[in-house]
Amino acid sequence: MPQSAPAINPFETAKRQIDIVADLLSINDGTREVLKHPKRELTVNFPVRMDDGSYRVYTGYRVQYNIARGPSKGGIRYHPQVSLDEVRALAAWMTWKCAVVNLPYGGAKGGIICDPKHMSQGELERLTRRFATELVPIIGPEMDIPAPDVYTDSQTMAWIMDTYSQEKGYSVPGVVTGKPIAIGGSEGRGEATGRGCAYVIREAAPHAGLKLKGANIAVQGFGNAGSVAANILHDEFGANIIAVSDSKGGITNSAGLNLKAVEDHKHKTGSVVGFPGSKAISNEELLEIKTDVLIPAALENQLTAKNAGKVQAKIVAEAANGPTVPEADKVFFEKKITVLPDILANAGGVTVSYFEWAQNIQGYSWTLAEVNERLNRVMTESYARVHEVAEQRKVHNRTAAYVVAIQRVVDALKIRGFFP
């Protein structure tokens, strides 16, 4: 019987990436070992009462990968495939993402092995509150600040904030971000990832020989990140959105799509497919369409050795996490396609999470204009630094982003000194 290829362990991938950058930066073996180990890990098995009166035991994890630059930050996901190594890898990537945009944070991630699609709201609330109780000793505004991730949302964060606050005896809004505005969430958090991505594209365009006004844009995954980026690129920078897609397929119109009408159509029918006046294309075709900017904003592993050679864009901006496999990166570098890597291009979300936390601990809230102005500054400065390192070292932007991030973490480790 043919054997399926063993699944790639994401933490092994994360450690390989550290080695590549550590070689470039001539980081010594001891520091390299520190970078390749999570600082603190919690594994917890806990019972949850189900709606039918039975009890089930769930397993949850929280990994605080590195706290050299500040409290750790990262989402919590609910998914049947959650594993400790996946959480470790995601926590390492959060460390680099926070560092590349220079937030005063380390990185963390959490998860529960569960199937949220087959759980009631009541079961999800009991699962969340029981997990939050287990997290109380290791989370907090000065220690580790969770946020939403796959299949968790602002309601999940509200339950965690409430459970933590009950334990403390007073309200602690800064213990989580991605909260509803009513309990200390930030203006602009919902659209921050797409907005940050649009700002990074704006900064990269001149270096890629592209004028954004009138440029053509294709977006794979017209969800939160993708649709916000598309709307801002059109409304604020005058770009032309020529193709979008979702899980059911894609649509194109070389004259430009009316995004508000596409959103209405998606709202009514559940998909962008069938939008009047557009031509149907597959998700694979969308990636290879003639466009100036391609924004993968859906899933990982979309741009591979198979299709990278057919990509016609000048810029690939990764709103999604991990859409490009390393073989495709090589092709893009050779073809002089500018890649804006995920840890930079989608860091707008964690940046406004940081703003939310900063507002909470100040007890003061900012206007939407203030949030967007500060986000603009963070994304502009971060792109400039990554671009500068890419030019200096003659490496692609992904390596440059890792160099910037890992160097910042190493600087923090060194200046603090290794105890004792």
Does 299 engage in binding with ligand NAD (CB under 6 A)?
A: yes
Does 298 engage in binding with ligand NAD (CB under 6 A)?
A: yes
SS3 234: helix
Does 253 engage in binding with ligand NAD (CB under 6 A)?
A: no
Q: Choose one: 243-251, 326-334, 357-365, 376-384; the region binding ligand NAD (CB under 6 A).
A: 243-251
Strand partners, 252: 243, 279
Q: Choose one: 52-60, 81-89, 230-238, 293-301; the region binding ligand NAD (CB under 6 A).
A: 293-301
SS3 24: helix
How big is the chain by its Cα radius of gyration, in Å? 21
The Cα–Cα gap between 257 and 226 comes to: 14
The Cα–Cα gap between 304 and 306 comes to: 5
Q: How far is the CB of 134 from ligand NAD (least distance, A)?
A: 25
The Cα–Cα gap between 193 and 316 comes to: 16
Residue from 66, 163, 321, 399 that binds ligand NAD (CB under 6 A)? Answer: 321
Does 320 engage in binding with ligand NAD (CB under 6 A)?
A: yes
Residue from 38, 74, 184, 221 that binds ligand NAD (CB under 6 A)? Answer: 221
Q: Between 38 and 349, whose beta carbon lies closer to ligand NAD? A: 349
Strand partners, 111: 61, 77
By CB under 6 A, the residues from 161 to 200 that bind ligand NAD are 193
Q: Choose one: 8-16, 136-144, 316-324, 355-363; the region binding ligand NAD (CB under 6 A).
A: 316-324
248 phi/psi in degrees, rounded to 5: -90, -15
Helix axes 84-100, 10-24, angle to 10 degrees: 40
Does 66 engage in binding with ligand NAD (CB under 6 A)?
A: no
Residue from 83, 155, 165, 224 that binds ligand NAD (CB under 6 A)? Answer: 224
Q: Between 163 and 329, whose beta carbon lies closer to ligand NAD? A: 329
Q: How far is the CB of 297 from ligand NAD (least distance, A)?
A: 5
Q: Choose one: 19-27, 109-117, 239-247, 387-395; the region binding ligand NAD (CB under 6 A).
A: 239-247
The Cα–Cα gap between 166 and 160 comes to: 10
CB atoms within 10 A of CB 16: 11
259 in Cβ contact with 231 (< 8 Å)? yes
Q: Between 27 and 89, whose beta carbon lies closer to ligand NAD? A: 89
Residue 248: what residue type?
K
By CB under 6 A, the residues from 76 to 115 that bind ligand NAD are none
Q: Choose one: 80-88, 105-113, 130-138, 291-299; the region binding ligand NAD (CB under 6 A).
A: 291-299
SS3 238: coil
114 in Cβ contact with 83 (< 8 Å)? no
The Cα–Cα gap between 287 and 326 comes to: 17
Q: How far is the CB of 223 from ligand NAD (least distance, A)?
A: 2
Q: Choose, from 73, 109, 266, 314, the residue flagged as catalytic.
A: 109
Does 230 engage in binding with ligand NAD (CB under 6 A)?
A: no
Does 356 engage in binding with ligand NAD (CB under 6 A)?
A: no
272 in Cβ contact with 244 (< 8 Å)? yes
Residue from 123, 144, 187, 246 that binds ligand NAD (CB under 6 A)? Answer: 246
Q: How far is the CB of 21 from ligand NAD (least distance, A)?
A: 21
Hunting for tokens 């990994």 — which residue is that?
63
State the DSSP code for 248: T
DSSP notation for 7-34: PP-HHHHHHHHHHHHHHHTT--HHHHHH
Q: Choose one: 76-84, 115-123, 138-146, 292-300; the region binding ligand NAD (CB under 6 A).
A: 292-300
Q: Has 109 been annotated as catalytic? A: yes
SS3 55: strand
The residue number with the shortest CB distance to ligand NAD is 223
Residue from 66, 152, 163, 220 that binds ligand NAD (CB under 6 A)? Answer: 220
Q: What is the C-alpha end-to-end distance of the chain, expressed in Å?
A: 55
60 in Cβ contact with 46 (< 8 Å)? yes
User: Which residues bind to ligand NAD, rule: CB under 6 A?
Assistant: 193, 220-226, 245-247, 283, 297-299, 319-321, 346, 349
Q: Catalytic residue positions?
A: 109
